[in-house]
Amino acid sequence: MNENESLFRHLQKYSASGALPMHMPGHKRRVSGIPFLEELGAHCDITEIDGFDDLHRPQGVLLEAMEKAARLWQSRQTLFLVNGSTCGILAAVRACAASDNSGKIIMARNCHRSVYNAAELCELEPVYIAPEQVKDFGFCGSIMPKAIEIAVRDNPGAPVILTSPSYEGVLSNISEIAIICHMYGSPLIVDEAHGAHLDLSPYFVGGAVHGGADIVVQSLHKTLTGLTQSALLHISSDLVSAKEVQNELAVFETSSPSYLLMASIDGTRELIEQRGGELFRSWKRALDAFDQKVGLLQSLRLPGHSELFCCQPRVNDGGYNLENGACPEIYGYDRSKIVISCEGTDTSGVALMSELRRRYNIECEMASCGYVVAMTGLLDTDETLDRLALALIELDREIHRTAPRIHLKPPGIPKRRMDVAGAKARRSCAMNIKEARGQISAEYVWAYPPGIPLVVPGEELSEELLRSFVVQREAGVELRSSSGGMPLTVRVVCPEPNT
């Protein structure tokens, strides 16, 4: 095999070689006349056969592909993931927990559900860091270094995990946070599922690998060109054992990895090396043109686009300046995300997303009570963003500003009444959410997307928390729970019978 060729090219050559497959998969690459196999590229779908290496013990073509990825993203070691970022998060947390005796994990409260699952599996006590809400927009701001410093000072050595960029594109100051964590011997894990494109060009910066995080997990399908479920795990320090991470990946990742997914990872790497300059410039130009068009909006607000609460890169040190110091809750912003805020208008985020779908055939990523998130990616063009801009301009003429609404104060971190394992072990029952005030939740409740838990088993269902459930439900936000009873009922811990 030519080591300079991509994994995809190797698969193409093998498919054309005429080799008789007396092994899995069962379709035997005989795709002719079977449309779904033809369209899905099953002629390149193989298993771990001679010459194609083993993801869990890479020594050949897969090892070479991962080394190429490490050079592009500038990490010490890069591992391919085919179970999405989720398996990388689970493995990273468990590997870091194994080297720390504290039994704790310092985690941003707006972490993805996979982080909560990892903490539960590893029986770690969470130490939560709550980001401030961004004034007037209703989403979470950056995780502040000072909050991390207090947490690691009180829990030295405990692993730290946070999300940057967030679902809404908010970046945290990873460089400063990493220094603080390392002062106290705490490894820093960054869920960068939405930021695989960062630092691959001068136009999108603020990534966690360059920022000094110890482990960074990225999805390649969110903003780049990997197939859905393809991801990377980067290791960038000796504070975390790479061998331990690989051992944990063998637990959480399939033993039958898809070569189609891995080929899309390596293909993305090759595409960026060969055409990245051109594609990133085109993406940046399309966003610039979009920003100019939506600058005329009267009712809808697009932070970072139609108005700059925005953070502009500083040339000297890779950090950010806040435009006019207008938004202290935000350190940096990834402008590939487009947050369409309808706060202070006569519509809701869910209704706006529905109109974009119904009238313009534009499907956005998610909607909350007061905003919609539209995601852009490496292959977006002037035409795609122009279509979104024109739809927003048209809708903006029909939407009216209203008197400022009294914002529902986001509920604080619920009081923890028992640990997760204890709550899940107890007998539970379903209760109407209007009657559950003061009860202990026996399950997770989250809005999907983005999949961030609003309450965790063992936490108290306060009045303000339940009120937020009702407000979100009435605004059309999709609330889910472990038992499936939301948005009407929630499972609570039953009182112990009198003895």
Tally the domains of the chain: 3
Q: Rounded to whole angstroms, how far apart are CA atoms 277 and 264?
A: 19
Domain limit, last residue, from 398, 428, 454: 398
> Is 101 within a domain?
yes
> Are 67 and 100 members of one domain?
yes
Better-predicted residue by pLDDT, 418 or 4: 418
Average pLDDT, the chain: 93
Write out pLDDT tens, residues 33-46. Answer: 999 999 999 999 99
The answer to whether 215 and 71 have CB atoms below 8 angstroms apart is no
* Residue 109 within a domain: yes
328 and 263 inside one domain: no
Would you state the pLDDT for residue 315? 40
- Confidence check: pLDDT of 127 > 60: yes
335 within some domain:
yes
The confidence score (pLDDT) of residue 74 equals 98
Q: Do 282 and 260 have their domain in common?
A: no
Domain co-membership, 194 together with 224: yes
User: Are both 139 and 284 inside the same structural domain?
Assistant: no
One domain for residues 220 and 336 = no
In this structure, of 65-74, 294-303, 315-324, 350-359, the range with the lowest mean pLDDT score is 315-324
Q: What is the pLDDT of residue 405?
A: 55
- Is the domain of 385 the same as that of 429? no
Please determine, for residue 316, whether its predicted confidence score (pLDDT) is greater than 50: no
Q: What is the CATH number of the domain that holds 30?
A: 3.40.640.10
pTM: 0.94
**Alpha carbon 421 to chain centroid, angstroms:** 26
Q: In the predicted model, is pLDDT for residue 321 greater than 90?
A: no
Same-domain check for residues 17 and 97: yes
- Enclosing domain of residue 50: 7-269
Which of 177, 242, 241, 248 is CA-nearest to residue 208?
Answer: 177
Residue 186 neighbours by CB under 8 Å, 6+ apart: 106, 152, 155, 156, 157, 158, 159, 160
Distance of alpha carbon 498 from alpha carbon 482, whole angstroms: 28
Looking at the predicted structure, is the pLDDT value of residue 324 above 60? Answer: no
